[in-house]
Amino acid sequence: LDPELDLFAEIERLKKEKNAIILAHYYQEPDIQDVADYIGDSLGLAQKAEKTDADIIVFAGVHFMAETAKILNPTKKVVIPDLKAGCSLSDSCPPPLFEQFKQKHPDHLVISYINCSAGIKALSDIICTSSNAQKIVESLPREQKIIFAPDKNLGAYINKVTGRNMVLWNGACMVHEIFSVEKITKLKLRHPNAKVIAHPECEEPVLKLADFIGSTTQLLKYTEKDNSQEYIVATETGILHQMIKSNPHKTFIPAPPDNSCACNDCPHMKRNTLEKIYLCMEYEMPEITMDEELRLAAKKPIDRMLELSA
């Protein structure tokens, strides 16, 4: 690409010419967030994808998110800047193994976190996100036996807040498992007034240190309403862009990882670049396509979630 090409202007032109909408997750790099028509957490993105009247949905996120948009919008073209933008959590739950796991718990209902493949969604009864997981679990009778997949950390957290005993699939997100309790504790000593805010994909010892736990949107809203001046943020660093924009006078410190060579960036989310956004809009590829039978089976539990979250 010509380095002098004004990607911001080109992307705006393509949006109009092609009636395209850019949906971006908070973990995308700042430039991508700045060209997006909508930035949100997984629930917000699914709700927006369901309602849009654009012809092309440009999904600036990871594969399972774009796939969810396609499941909800079969007649629309859904493009993703990089088809290799996967998710370690989604990869930790392959459908054939999950099917065997399900067979071992025949009288259980399956609630799956949206961070999973269409194959897992098709094996699930209800989908949830981090912003509605508690509500969805609590919508079921207490005596209902439940399998929760694929995130064991979110599952354990929901078990704790609801007093349920869901059977958990042993999956996790590579980004949310790197935080160091020791380093956060030390940081808190140096910043005694800072609030610790954490995503529920973090491990329990990190969540125990948190003053507030929530989805990316819920964390952002918390920093907007709360009157503290400093926050230690235990989630992917992309969210800091909107936190700083909304609260320019507050300080946001990324929670430190246990290995100082590591970082809190999601390598999958960060595969997307502004250049790739432009290219996928110009050439309308890579495109998300799906077998219709699989799509219909995966749509059912998403529809249940959207009804329960309306």
Binding residues: 25, 42, 87, 113-115, 130, 173, 199-201, 216, 266
H/E segment holding residue 190: helix 181-190
CB closer to ligand SF4, 109 vs 174: 174
CA distances from 58 to 11, 76, 77, 88 (A): 11, 11, 8, 22
Closest CA to 233 of 205, 261, 214, 249: 214
Closest CA to 114 of 27, 175, 173: 173
* Paired tokens of 301: 């539990």
The site partner of 58 among ligand SF4, ligand 13P, none (C-beta below 5 to 8 Å per kind) is none
The site partner of 264 among ligand SF4, ligand 13P, none (C-beta below 5 to 8 Å per kind) is none
CB closer to ligand SF4, 14 vs 217: 217
The CB-of-62 to ligand SF4 minimum distance in angstroms stands at 4
The CB-of-24 to ligand SF4 minimum distance in angstroms stands at 13
Burial group, residue 250, by CB count within 10 angstroms (0-12, 13-18, 19+)? middle
The site partner of 88 among ligand SF4, ligand 13P, none (C-beta below 5 to 8 Å per kind) is ligand SF4
CB closer to ligand SF4, 14 vs 197: 197
Contact residue for ligand SF4 among 174, 244, 263, 297 (CB under 6 A): 174
The CB-of-27 to ligand 13P minimum distance in angstroms stands at 6
Binding residues for ligand SF4, rule CB under 6 A, total 13
Assign 67 to helix, strand or coil: helix
Q: Which residues, including other chains, have CB under 8 Å from residue 92's CB and lie 6 or more apart?
A: 150, 169, 170, 171, 172
The CB-of-42 to ligand 13P minimum distance in angstroms stands at 3
